[in-house]
Amino acid sequence: MIPGINDAHLHLAMWAISRPPYQADLRPLTSLAQVGDAVAAQARRTPPGRWAVGRGWTLPGIAEFASGNRLPDRHDLDGAAPDVPVFCRHRSEHAAWVNTRALELAGITRDTPDPDGGRIVRDPGTGEPTGYLVEAAAHLVARHVPEPAEATWREAIAAAAGELNRRGVTSVTDPMVSPELLGRYAGMRGELPLRLGVLLHWTGTGDANHAGTIREAMRLGDHGLRVAGVKLFADGIPVLRTSWMYAPSSSPHPPPFNGRASLDEPLRGGGCGHAVIAADDPAAELAEMVELLHRHRFRIGVHATGDRACDAVARAYQAAHKADPWPARHHLIHASLLSPATARELAALDVSHNLRRHPALLSPDPSSGSRITLWRRDAPSATPHPGGTAARRCADRVRHPRPDDADSTRTPARTG
């Protein structure tokens, strides 16, 4: 007998519904021709009035995009499904690639403004939307994609849970659970062969965070399932250059662009990415959200990848702990470009991090032997760190999550 595996960061329902036959699996595809074939096949399976949905593409994974000379375009998908709306999620869920019909149904034109925390990528010559939507802009289309039937959701989740069991996984932490999904999980208790912990989240990656949404959602009942963990978003992801950073990145992949002559010119903010928080002062709004949840005894996990985002989370956690000191065991999700100084500050609060290896963020530093340098070397905090894995870039004192950290319901909670 061997112990079961805990997956500490798995979007169970999202993964379940993204698998065939429910959606086209774009992960193994390496060319536009292959993507077109997969989308056409999914469109043929799609009932009238529904959308053809796919997931899993990446810029470096598709040969035509890997060179950096071009980005996804709606016309790439139009030939495969001219009359069926197509919505293809990036593997990270932080971007989408859609066809012309999808843009039409969503009412997105050259006059549609970029949403807070997002970017509608446009043709530099005409200003027309290209069909490549980054961060919150993807939600402008996603909200028009019909939800699967409840029976389909339950079937997909049960099948995914069975697959996890066959792979030795016996417990899962789903880090982004809406009130609706929480109710769905509650209704399946006793049916799933998994122990399931959740982090409640009221807006998806396509919506900007703000404290008003949390105040409204806190009036909700608990759906018969006690939840103490909550997930917030501070920024995007490094590979799309949407991490909130102090200085521009030198990522090998091109950023989204609006009306610029070159893909190499920087993003809004000078290539420093941006916060996905709906406020003029994102750091202050994040601190307000954290204080609100901390005061109500929720354990908080914040998605933060850029060094500036990680620092904003650290300041928010410090202020919340100072105002109301209780053993919250908050954590930082991903922490891709966390600096050693901030890591030490978080360790002093017993903040853990959910940090995965991400070789794409690292580049060898030939002047330092076996040392590793963050790809963006020009910010004061981005100094080389010893070691060959992303985890070892953090200070030694940072506490890695223990197995029991996955069960977010263990922290005493009050919701009044």
CATH of the domain at 316: 3.20.20
In a domain, 392, yes or no: yes
Q: Does pLDDT of 50 surpass 90? A: yes
Q: Does pLDDT of 348 surpass 80? A: yes
Q: Does residue 127 sit in the same domain as residue 162?
A: no
Per-residue model confidence as pLDDT tens digits over 1-43: 788 998 988 999 999 999 999 999 999 999 999 999 999 999 9
Q: What distance in Å separates the CA atoms of residue 44 and residue 30, rounded to the nearest whole number?
A: 22
Q: Does residue 134 sit in the same domain as residue 168?
A: no
Q: Does pLDDT of 254 surpass 90? A: no
Q: Which domain holds residue 303?
A: 155-410
Output the pLDDT for position 391. Answer: 33
Q: Does pLDDT of 324 surpass 70? A: yes
Output the pLDDT for position 406. Answer: 34
Of 107, 142, 177, the residue that ends a domain is 142
**Mean per-residue pLDDT over the chain, rounded:** 78
Task: Taking residues 170-180, report their average pLDDT.
Answer: 86
Contact 27, 19 (CB under 8 A): no
Total number of domains constituting the chain: 2
Output the pLDDT for position 233. Answer: 87
In a domain, 1, yes or no: no
In a domain, 149, yes or no: no
Per-residue model confidence as pLDDT tens digits over 209-246: 555 655 555 554 444 345 658 889 898 888 777 888 88
Q: Does residue 74 sit in the same domain as residue 180?
A: no
Q: Is residue 337 helix, strand or coil? A: coil
Q: What distance in Å separates the CA atoms of residue 363 and residue 262, rounded to the nearest whole number?
A: 25
Task: Taking residues 192-201, report their average pLDDT.
Answer: 86
In a domain, 147, yes or no: no
Q: Does residue 88 sit in the same domain as residue 126?
A: yes
* pLDDT band (50, 70, 90) for residue 394: very low
Q: Does residue 163 sit in the same domain as residue 228?
A: yes
In a domain, 16, yes or no: yes
In a domain, 416, yes or no: no
Output the pLDDT for position 55. Answer: 95
Lowest mean pLDDT segment, chosen from 134-138, 157-161, 264-268: 264-268
- Give me the long-range contacts of 339-343 (CB less than 8 A, separation at least 24): 339/307, 339/310, 339/311, 339/381, 339/382, 339/383, 340/381, 340/383, 340/385, 340/393, 340/394, 340/395, 341/381, 342/307, 342/310, 342/311, 342/314, 342/381, 343/394, 343/395, 343/397, 343/398
Q: Does residue 98 sit in the same domain as residue 225?
A: no
Q: What strands lie across the sheet with 95-98, from one edge to the other?
A: 24-25, 52-57, 86-90, 95-98, 129-135, 118-122
Cα distances (Å, whole numbers) of residue 54 to 51, 137, 225, 336: 10, 17, 31, 27
Of 86, 113, 142, the residue that ends a domain is 142
Q: What are the tokens at 337? A: 């470009």
CATH of the domain at 18: 3.10.310.70
Q: Does residue 35 sit in the same domain as residue 117?
A: yes
Q: What distance in Å separates the CA atoms of residue 234 and residue 290, rounded to the nearest whole number?
A: 11
Instruction: Kindly report the backbone phi and psi dihedral angles of residue 302, in degrees, each rounded to the nearest multiple of 5, phi listed first.
Output: -115, 125
Place of tokens 């209780």: 326
Q: Does residue 267 sit in the same domain as residue 296?
A: yes
Q: Does residue 171 sit in the same domain as residue 132?
A: no
Q: Does pLDDT of 285 surpass 80? A: yes
Q: What distance in Å separates the CA atoms of residue 195 and residue 409, rounded to the nearest whole number?
A: 12
Is there a cis peptide before residue 21, judged by omega within 30 degrees of 0? yes
- Give the residue, 105 or 222, on which the prediction is more confident: 105
In a domain, 129, yes or no: yes
- Give the residue, 331 or 375, on which the prediction is more confident: 331
- Give me the long-range contacts of 314-317 (CB less than 8 A, separation at least 24): 314/342, 314/345, 314/346, 314/351, 315/283, 315/287, 316/283, 316/286, 316/287, 316/289, 316/290, 316/291, 317/290, 317/346, 317/349, 317/351
Output the pLDDT for position 204. Answer: 52
Q: Does residue 274 sit in the same domain as residue 384?
A: yes
Q: Does residue 41 sit in the same domain as residue 127?
A: yes
Q: What distance in Å separates the CA atoms of residue 210 and residue 216, rounded to the nearest whole number?
A: 11
Q: Does residue 179 sit in the same domain as residue 122?
A: no
Output the pLDDT for position 386. Answer: 28
Task: Taking residues 261-279, report their average pLDDT.
Answer: 53
- Give the residue, 96 or 176, on which the prediction is more confident: 96
In a domain, 148, yes or no: no
* pLDDT band (50, 70, 90) for residue 415: very low
Task: Taking residues 288-317, report their average pLDDT.
Answer: 92
Of 120, 142, 164, the residue that ends a domain is 142
